[in-house]
Structure 1
Amino acid sequence: MQEKAHTHAGDALAAARRRMPMTELPDVVVEGDEGPTPLLDLFGDHDQLILYKHMWHGGQPMEAQCEGCTLTVWDATYLDSRGIAFAVLFEGPWAEARELRDLMGYPVPCYSVHDVDDPVLGTGFGEFLFLLRHGGKPYLTYAVTGRGTEAMMSSVQLIDRTVHGRGERWEDSPPAGPRTTARAGGGARTGGRRRSGAGPA
């Protein structure tokens, strides 16, 4: 019964999100493989666009970059089939963003907003933005950060359903349960991702 109530509460919350007011955004120019690119071009043939704003720790090696961010980037083929484009906006300069993208093997379009001066698109990383193109203009319909980004972390959602859970210190588990998460090696690696989930909200 609790599981069903949780699911239905999520449905009601999603319905409320779809009725939130929209905010018009400027058609800023980001940088990617094709050079300077207008934000509207990221929509491609679609009217909806989801952006993930990927953190970048300047001056730090690849293995020291954000664990949570690398866990949220995945193949968005199904989104595309539902008329939704997906792209990643990197906080760092394009040359460094491209290096991390290639190392991690991200299969989605990536861009840098390092030089973008905008309170929505140029700040507050570790965040999902949900955009709509309407009348030739981009609009922000919803944004979420913190543990709200876990919607994209299918592995974390599955781990939450195991008897041991995540093993994080903040987690409510039986007294004899684990309290820490093993993170052998940590960091990024070539040919795949090795990352752990986010902390409490």
Structure 2
Amino acid sequence: MKDSARPPVVDRAAWERARAELLAREKAHTRAGDALAAARRRLPMTPMPAITVVGAQGPVPLHEVFEGRRQLLVYHFMWKRGAPHDKQCEGCTHSQVAMDTAVRAYLAERDVSYAVFSRGPWPELAAYRDFMGWTAPWYSTQDCQDDEMATRNGGDLRCYLRVGSEVFMSYESTQRGIEAMLPTLQLLDLTPYGRQETWEDSPAGWPHQDEAGSWWRRDGRPVAQWTRIAAANADQP
């Protein structure tokens, strides 16, 4: 890295002026996001057919995935059928890291359940979830015949509303729309060097830029898997 690959140094007064200018833009961005969220709440919804998914307790109708709550967030995890853990999707793995028990408890306080759907066989999904130490409910949709459950084979986030036993889809997010599940990226956006990806508008001479998402896999595995392997090794006598 070049020694000049860093922000300019100014006195505190100059820094506060520059920060105030950026803060005005950040506040405008926040207000624009609030307006989008308000429009999202006004979207119409579309009914779902009677769908059955397979989980830890066997076949489950879609409305029971809500666990008695009115709203449901579902992440559709991309699955490579028959592949070992290290070959599974690094992006989908990254998306689940932050969805721990405490996060889901806060969602539940707002009448929202969270679940993961995937088109892989249930035994494979369960083995991967257990390997990663995740506790969120997972369900297999591989036997669903309805087009309404079809996605790009994963990487999508969908929102559902339950009225009695009827289920409606209210929203869907794909591609960068799921970044709300990736706090790593928002935190990196606050740092001087950002995500260090090729698409970003960074000053000349900034550190080496990688392709988007390429750093989510290290030494042949999704990065998060190394934490599980390290923990398992530490438990060895």
| CA-based RMSD | 1.7
Deviation at 1:81, TM superposition (A): 1.7
Matched position secondary structure for 1:37: strand
Q: Residue 135 of structure 1: CA displacement?
A: 4.2
**How far apart are residue 169 of structure 1 and its match?**
1.6
Q: Say which SS state the counterpart of residue 72 (structure 1) adopts.
A: helix
1:154 to 183, 190, 194: 183
2:67 is the counterpart of 1:52: no
Q: CA deviation at 1:120?
A: 2.6
Which 4+ stretches in 1 moved above 6 angstroms? none
Q: Which runs of 5 or more structure 2 residues have no equivalent in the other structure?
A: 1-23, 230-237
Unpaired segments ≥5 residues, structure 1: 194-201
Q: What TM-score does the superposition give when structure 2 sets the normalisation length?
A: 0.76
2:225 corresponds to 1:189? yes
Percent of aligned pairs with the same amino acid:
45
Partner letter of residue 49 of structure 1? Answer: L
- Distance in 2 between residues matched to 1:28 and 1:161, nearest whole Å: 42
Deviation sequence 1:102-141 (CA, Å, 0-9, x none): 1111221111001111223233321011000124300000
Shift of 1:184: 3.6
Structure having the higher helix fraction is 2
Structure 2 match to 1:196: none
Say how many residue pairs are matched.
193
The alpha-carbon deviation at position 27 of structure 1 amounts to 2.6
Counterpart CA distance in 2 for 1:70 and 1:44 is: 24
Quote the offset at 1:79 in angstroms. Answer: 0.4
Q: Are 1:81 and 2:109 matched, yes or no? A: yes
Provide the rounded CA distance (Å) in 2 between the counterparts of 1:135 and 1:161.
43
Task: Name the SS for the 1:189 alignment partner.
Answer: helix
Quick check: which has more Rg, 1 or 2?
2
Displacement of 1:61 after TM fit? 2.0
Map 1:1-201 → 2, pairs under 5 A: 1-73=24-96, 74-75=99-100, 76-124=104-152, 125-178=154-207, 179-180=209-210, 182=215, 183-185=217-219, 186-187=221-222, 189=225, 192=228
Normalising by the residue count of structure 1, what TM-score does the alignment of the two structures yield? Answer: 0.89
Shift of 1:58: 2.2
